[in-house]
Chains A and B, each alone.
Chain A
Amino acid sequence: MFKSTELYAFCCYSPIPCMDLLAQLSSRQLLVVTGKGGVGKTAVSAVLGRIFAARGKRVLVVEVDPRENLHQMLGMPPTGGDILPAGSRLWVQNLKPRQVLDSVVRERLKLELLVRRVLASPVYHHFVDGAPGLTELAILGHALRLVRGIDKSAPQLDLVILDAPATGHGVRLLASPRLVSEVIRHGAFAVMAGELAEMIADPARCGILAVTQAEEMPVQEVLEMRQALRSQVEKDPEALVVNGLYPPAPEPAGTGEDDELVSLWRRRRLLNERELERLGTEWLGPRLELPQLAMDRGPALTAALQTCLERAAEARAWT
């Protein structure tokens, strides 16, 4: 049995065309989209949601950020924490981790009077704030319950795309089951942590997608993030999306000087190329490139990026 990274190393450097990367990603139950803030994680998550839904999967895109952005990419009103339909077979949710923890309390503690007292108690609040990894565990646990269909009020799903919080570049999120297992050794959270650690370790069920931009800081950070994932989660991202690329610039004119625009264009593109080259030597896994488009954030941009990503994946498969 190949691990997914080995399989890629095998197919991408052989004359046999790569298996369709997007099909592979869409076969996961949980896909965690990681990266530094501001590189376009949320846009990539929305685009993937649309692609997988169009391919017949039932997909939920979950955003964990108190300032909602995801709905804008899909031309919807803010979700306010609910799971809302965003198209055929596609749903979105802005998740408040506290909701999930509170619902665990509700389930375990069936007496309404006690539930209210626990939820109102400062002890509970401090505990939830302070217990290491608990919030992150709740986010992952929410995804697991949904793909298992435990929550009957939620739609039946094949796949959850998790737009990871920018803090710790998503490593903290993925490492939380292990952390919690070390701190909490029995009880409901310990069981949940064990199941989640197993799911994350399983290459068939859980994939990680890294997003970056081809600039010095983001590339440096994505390489450091991979290192942290290797040591804390023992897992590599399955693919890397390089977002926001400037278009290739024209050759310098032989005689006259460039105008200001062309000169800025060329220098920005050069910066991109330098970083792509660095990724070429340091990131051997599959890589998809997305252009910077001249469009405001919104459904039109998301649709355009979908076309570009599908095309990039197709081009990869045959080269």
Chain B
Amino acid sequence: MDLISGGLIADAQPLTIVVGSGGVGKTTLAAAMGVLAARSGRDTLVMTFDPSLRLKDALGVGEEAREREVKVSFQAPGSLYASLLDARITFDRLVERYAPDDASRRRILGNRFYQHLSGSLGGILEYMAVERLYEVAAEGRFRQVILDTPPTRQALDFLEAPARIVGFLDSGALRVALKGWFDEEGHLTMAARLGPLGRQAERFLDNVVGLDLLRDMAEFFQAFAPLFEGFRERAQAVEELLRSRRTRFIVVSGPGEERIPDTLFFSRRLEQAGYHLGPTIVNRVHPSFQVQGAPPAADPCRPTGWELLTWLGERDRRGLAALAALVSRRQPLIAVPLLPGEPTDLPSLEALGRLVEERLGEWSRRFAKGAEEEG
């Protein structure tokens, strides 16, 4: 298995997608992996969404990283670049690429429906993220690309979003339905061929959503029509890249028992759908403490630190044990301890990367030993 020999940074898998629920520390781990990869001599890109201000400072990237990859000032054998993902800019870029001529490009970019759509369609950020990953992978400038994913509450949204967006843009149904309704000037024509049902549906639509929106949508879909083919091919290629052996998914989970169902559900879905799973990282695990004779708090709203940390350590231990019992023995599962503070500069990011790598090494040795004893 590549994974076991490969360590945290694996040359056989140049693309890493870090997934997990919101607030579990995905961005920091993605940055830590990037620093580690550059340190080991690989030219690396970290693509992220909304890093905290201090992490942005640590990587030295500002708003200009929305437009292009920005070099992080970091003395290492490999170079480190970072970029911030922006759905609107990526979508605009796609339109520019596939528009057959200037006029159609302008028609789409100036369409009112497109302007709202490109910022607010559910899943668009996720789609644009993998789209950008594909672009970067095709350019071949980097030996390692690490993609931090948007903070969806339901990590599964991330995988379903591309299909939804392509389905929507590729929607023959909408194109056909809206086509007969408006003439070249955008005036409503009677949808005679739909018969009485069509007229009634039309009245209903005007009554509910108003025809302005429909006109904008019809215009958008007509303008977008010449782009569909390119878009569909592109989406297929993106999907293939995500399923290929070159791409692995690292699932990050918060500690504690209530996080386990999410983590497990997501890893299983990824595997069943044919994606390649990298290590699963349970982040910010409280250490276990044995405290004897600490008096319980007099005030329930003020637990003592002894009480609280003992309980948190126990909660996380239970959570990890439950998760370990449920995943395959071949699935690397590593616990990263809660750090005294979030890493917010390059040395502390590197230290975090090394810690994760060390834990993965320990897991591999345990696994090898277990396999040997059985064999």
Query: Are A and B a genuine interacting pair, yes or no?
Result: yes
What's the minimum C-beta distance from B209 to chain A, rounded to whole angstroms? Answer: 5
CB of A296, distance to nearest CB on chain B (Å): 7
Q: Within 8 Å of chain B (Cβ to Cβ): is A36?
A: yes
- CA gap between A187 and B206 in the complex, in Å: 6
The residue in chain B whose Cβ has the minimal distance to the Cβ of A72 is: B258
A126–B174 touching, CB < 8 Å: yes
Q: For the complex, what is the distance from the CA of A308 to the CA of B21, rounded to whole Å?
A: 28
Stretch from A127-135, A140-148, A149-157 at the B interface: A127-135
Is there a chain B Cβ closer than 8 Å to A119's Cβ?
Answer: no
A273 at the interface (CB under 8 A from B): no
Question: How many chain B residues touch A (Cβ–Cβ < 8 Å)?
Answer: 67
Contact (A108, B204) CB under 8 Å given A36-B23, A132-B120, A217-B52: yes
* Complexed CA–CA distance, A245 and B372 (Å): 46
Complex Cα gap A264–B309 (Å)? 9
Q: How far is the CA of A189 from the CA of B212 in the complex (A)?
A: 12
- Binding-face segment, B2-10, B91-99, B299-307, B345-353: B299-307
- Asked if B151 and A189 make an inter-chain contact with CB atoms under 8 angstroms apart, the answer reads no
Which chain A residues lie closer than 8 Å to B213 at the CB level? 131, 183-185
- In this complex, what residue of B is CB-closest to A109? B204
Report yes or no: A114 in contact with B197, Cβ–Cβ below 8 A. yes
A292 on the B face (CB < 8 A): yes
B11 within 8 A of A: no
When the two chains form their complex, are residues A131 and B341 in contact, meaning their CB atoms are under 8 A apart? no
Determine if A267 and B305 form an interchain contact, defined as CB atoms under 8 angstroms apart: no
Q: Is the CB of A114 within 8 A of B200?
A: yes
B31 CB to closest chain A CB (Å) equals: 12
The answer to whether B212 and A264 touch across the interface, beta carbons within 8 angstroms, is no
Q: Which of A188, A216, A265 contacts B309, CB < 8 Å?
A: A265
Q: State which of A122, A133, A189, A263 has its C-beta within 8 Å of the C-beta of B120.
A: A133
Tell whether, in the assembled complex, residue B21 and residue A38 are in contact, meaning their CB atoms are under 8 Å apart.
yes
* CB of B330 within 8 Å of the partner chain: no
Q: Is there a chain A Cβ closer than 8 Å to B62's Cβ?
A: no
Binary contact readout A240-265 vs B (1 if CB under 8 angstroms, 0 otherwise): 00000011011000000000111111
Instruction: Please name all residues of chain B whose beta carbon is closer than 8 Å to the beta carbon of A66 when the two chains form the complex.
Output: 154
Identify which of A37, A264, A271 gathers the most chain B CB atoms within 10 Å of its CB.
Answer: A264
Q: Please tell me which one of the listed residues A38, A189, A247 contacts residue B303 in the complex, with CB atoms under 8 A apart.
A: A247
When chains A and B are docked, how far (Å) is the Cα of A186 from the Cα of B201?
Answer: 16
Contact among A38, A215, A249 for B24, CB-based, below 8 A: A38
Assess the A37–B301 pair: CB atoms within 8 A. Answer: no
- Cα(A183)–Cα(B118), bound, Å: 13
Q: How far is the CA of A240 from the CA of B302 in the complex (A)?
A: 20
Could you tell me the distance in whole angstroms from the C-beta of B228 to the nearest C-beta in chain A?
14
- Residues from chain A with Cβ under 8 Å of B21 in the complex: 37-38
Q: Chain A at the B interface: mostly helix, strand, loop or mixed? A: helix
Q: Which residues of A contact B243 (CB under 8 A)?
A: none
Complex interface residues of chain B between 309 and 328 (CB less than 8 A to chain A): 309-312, 315
B271 at the A interface (CB under 8 A) = no
Query: A99: CB under 8 A from chain B?
Result: no
**A184 and B210 contact, CB distance less than 8 A:** yes
* A183-B112 in contact (CB<8A): yes
Are B23 and A179 closer than 8 Å at their CB atoms?
no
Residue A204 at the chain B interface, CB threshold 8 Å: no
Q: Is the CB of B116 within 8 A of A182?
A: yes
**What chain B residues lie within 8 Å of A262 (beta carbons)?**
305
B169-212 Cβ-contact flags toward A at 8 Å (1 or 0): 00101100100000000000000000001001100111111101
- Judge whether B262 and A294 touch: CB under 8 Å: no
Contact A126 B210 (CB under 8 A): no
Whether B289 and A166, one on each chain, are in contact in the complex, defined by CB atoms closer than 8 angstroms, is no
Whole-angstrom distance between the alpha carbons of A188 and B217 in the complex?
Answer: 18
B287 at the interface (CB under 8 A from A): yes
Question: Is B167's CB within 8 Å of the partner chain A?
Answer: yes
Q: B residues 195-237 with Cβ under 8 Å of A? A: 197, 200-201, 204-210, 212-213, 216-217
Measured CA separation A154–B173 after assembly (Å) = 36
Cβ of B136 within 8 Å of any chain A Cβ, yes or no, is no
Report the separation of the CA atoms of residues A232 and B71 in the bound assembly, to the nearest whole angstrom: 33
Q: Which of B117, B167, B210, B217 has the most CB of A within 10 A?
A: B210
Chain A residue numbers with a CB within 8 Å of B207 are 108, 187-188
Taking CB atoms, residues of chain B closer than 8 Å to A121 are 173
Check B208 against A108 for contact (C-beta < 8 Å).
yes
B305 touches A249 (CB 8 A): yes
- The digit string for B109-125, where 1 denotes a CB below 8 A from any CB of A, is 00011001101111000
Whether B300 pairs with A132 at a CB distance below 8 angstroms is no
- Chain A residues in 8 Å Cβ range of B341: 267, 271
Across the interface, which residues of A come within 8 angstroms of B206, CB to CB? 187
> Inside 8 A of B23's CB, which chain A residues have their CB?
36-39, 217-218
Which of A117, A126, A307 interacts with B173 by CB under 8 Å?
A126
Q: Is the CB of B113 within 8 A of A183?
A: yes
Contacts of A265 in B (CB 8 A): 305, 308-309
A-to-B contact residues, CB < 8 Å: 36-39, 65-67, 104-105, 108-109, 111, 114, 117-118, 121-123, 126-127, 129-133, 135, 165-167, 172, 179, 182-190, 215-218, 220-221, 246-247, 249-250, 260-265, 267-269, 271, 291-297, 304, 307-308, 311
Q: Could you write out 12 A-B pairs with CB less than 8 Å apart?
A: A39-B23, A108-B204, A114-B201, A132-B121, A167-B122, A185-B212, A188-B207, A188-B208, A264-B309, A293-B300, A294-B311, A307-B300
Q: Which 5 A-B pairs have the closest CB atoms?
A: A37-B22, A38-B23, A265-B305, A187-B210, A294-B311
Given contacts A185-B210, A217-B342, 9 further A-B contacts (CB under 8 A): A65-B153, A66-B154, A129-B122, A131-B213, A135-B122, A165-B153, A167-B152, A220-B52, A292-B308
